[in-house]
């Protein structure tokens, strides 16, 4: 059994069982990958993949377990290299982060600026996606850290650190009837078509909860994963926007932001990473820059707990910043 064979089967899964795409990603040949997978299956005495002729159609039950273990072994392999680099090149390396558009556009720029000045020889890569895409990227080892605010049940098997609380604003054009509203109610909001985040993206479930609690049905006419897209369609008059308050900036002079924190529950932004990863010193620094209460000793303590309920209790006495 070779590490390269494990890398091949994991990448085939990452590429939705497409061997050609896996070969392209790994800069090798499709026949070479297929041969090595067959050799691994012969050595193990079972099939990892179900096939229809020459085409892979699914993982076998045993294959699912093997791929899960292979992922962990590959992360461990990366961690060995990371340990060596920590001692030989402490300020050189790569940091890969997966997050949503709102975080990347409105929260990360100042952090990235500080981090890049302190670590000019660390290559920083930001991947944007949905909560499910973020989770998949973290699980597959494509990224080191994930910054997430929704679908947190996906991250139960990972280290999950609370960063800050945030809420929503209602966004309208200057000439909209709600622009002069002094005390917005959910009943008033329900009278208008709504433009908001795609389900599973930064709090649509909290939006549904608020309307359902009031016995009302929201009239959602457009959804997007990007706050800037929401603002664009509010400007076009498609509806009233509901988005993260942080996404309304001084440049949005043609839009009025109405605080809706009394209508919707606060959401928590969290940083996630795999238990098996070796965090470089610059990774601890990035986490601390993003959320000052996440000091290295606190993060290390959370790593040792292996239970996110226990991690949550660890931070119970900390008053999270509201942004």
pLDDT digits (tens, 9 = 90+) for 101-110: 889 999 999 9
Q: Please give the pLDDT value at position 322.
A: 78
User: Does pLDDT of 264 surpass 60?
Assistant: yes
CB 157 within 8 A of CB 202: no
Place of tokens 């920083």: 124
The CATH number of the domain holding residue 285 is 3.40.190.10
Residues 126, 275 within the same domain: yes
Q: Indicate if the pLDDT at residue 319 is higher than 60.
A: yes
Last residue of a domain, one of 240, 259, 278: 259
Show the domain range for 54. Answer: 3-81
| Position 323 in a domain | no
What is the arithmetic mean of pLDDT over 189-215? 81
pLDDT at 60: 93
Answering whether pTM is above 0.85, one says no
Considering the domain architecture, whether residues 161 and 174 belong to the same structural domain is answered as: no
Predicted confidence band at 153 (pLDDT cuts at 50, 70, 90)?
A: low
Q: 267 vs 306, which has greater pLDDT?
A: 267
- pLDDT (mean) for 77-106: 86
The pLDDT value recorded for residue 63 is 92
Complete DSSP assignment for 47-111: -SEEEETTEEEEE-HHHHHHHHHHHHHHHHHHHHHHHHHHHH-TT-EEEEEEE-HHIIIIIHHHH
To the nearest whole percent, how much of the chain has pLDDT over 70?
96
- Rounded to an integer, the average pLDDT of 7-26 is 89
Phi, psi of 260 (to 5 degrees): -125, 20
Residue 156, in any domain of the structure: yes
The CA-atom distances, in angstroms, between 234 and each of 27, 173, 190, 195, 222 are 44, 7, 16, 7, 10
> Are 47 and 77 within one domain?
yes
Q: Is residue 322 part of a domain?
A: no
Given 58, 81, 104, which residue is the final one in a domain?
A: 81
138 and 61 within one domain: no
Residues 173 and 255 in one domain: yes
Residue with more model confidence, 218 or 76: 218
**What's the whole-number average pLDDT of the chain?**
88
Residue 61 lies in a domain: yes
pLDDT of residue 305: 85
Q: What is the pLDDT of residue 204?
A: 53
pLDDT (tens digit per residue) in 237-258? 999 999 999 999 999 999 999 9
Domain co-membership, 76 together with 95: no
Structure confidence at residue 40 (pLDDT):
92
Span 64-69, average pLDDT: 90
Domain count, the chain: 3
Q: What is the DSSP string of 12-55?
A: HHHTTT-HHHHHHHTTS-HHHHHHHHHHHHHHHTS-SEEEETTE
Same domain, 157 and 181: no
Q: Which of 81, 103, 127 is the last residue of a domain?
A: 81
Which residues are CB-contacts of 267 (< 8 A; sequence separation ≥ 6)? Answer: 149, 150, 165, 166, 167, 202, 203, 206
When mean pLDDT is compared across 20-24, 94-98, 125-129, 197-201, the lowest value belongs to 197-201
Do 243 and 123 lie in one domain? The reply is: no
Please check whether residues 10 and 72 belong to one and the same domain: yes
- Residues 21 and 138 occupy one common structural domain: no
The CA distance from 65 to 269, in Å, is: 31
103 and 154 part of one domain: yes
281 and 150 assigned to the same domain: yes
**Residue 230, domain member (yes or no):** yes
Whether residue 203 is predicted with pLDDT greater than 60 in this model: the reply is no
| pLDDT band, very low/low/confident/very high, at 141 (cuts 50, 70, 90) | confident
Higher pLDDT, 308 or 220: 220
């Amino acid at each position: 059994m070779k590490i390269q064979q494990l890398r091949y089967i994991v990448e085939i899964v990452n590429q939705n069982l497409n061997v050609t795409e896996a070969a392209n990603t790994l800069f090798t040949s499709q026949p070479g990958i297929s041969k090595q997978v067959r050799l691994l299956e012969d050595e193990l005495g079972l099939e990892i993949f179900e096939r229809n002729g020459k085409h892979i159609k699914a993982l076998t039950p045993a294959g699912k377990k093997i791929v899960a273990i292979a992922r962990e072994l590959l992360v461990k392999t990366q961690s060995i290299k990371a340990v060596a680099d920590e001692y030989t090149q402490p300020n050189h390396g790569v940091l890969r982060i997966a997050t949503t558009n709102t975080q990347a556009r409105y929260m990360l720029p100042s952090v990235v600026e500080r981090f890049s000045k302190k670590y000019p020889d660390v290559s920083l890569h930001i991947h944007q996606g949905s909560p499910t895409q973020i989770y998949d990227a973290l699980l597959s080892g494509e990224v080191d850290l994930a910054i997430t605010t929704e679908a947190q049940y996906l991250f139960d098997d990972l280290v999950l650190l609370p960063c800050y609380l945030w809420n929503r604003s209602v966004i309208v054009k200057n000439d909209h009837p709600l622009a002069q509203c002094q005390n917005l109610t959910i009943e008033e909001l329900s009278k208008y078509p709504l433009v908001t985040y795609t389900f599973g993206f930064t709090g649509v479930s909290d939006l549904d909860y608020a309307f359902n609690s009031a016995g009302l049905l929201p009239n959602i006419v457009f959804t997007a994963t990007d706050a800037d897209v929401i603002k664009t369609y509010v400007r076009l008059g498609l509806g009233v926007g509901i988005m993260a308050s942080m996404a309304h900036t001084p440049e949005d002079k043609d839009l009025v932001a109405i605080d809706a924190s009394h209508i919707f529950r606060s959401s928590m932004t969290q940083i996630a990473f795999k238990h098996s990863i070796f965090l470089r010193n610059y990774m601890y620094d990035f986490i601390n820059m993003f959320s000052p209460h996440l000091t290295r000793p606190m993060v290390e303590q959370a790593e040792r707990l292996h239970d996110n309920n226990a991690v949550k209790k660890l931070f119970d006495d900390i008053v999270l910043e509201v942004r």
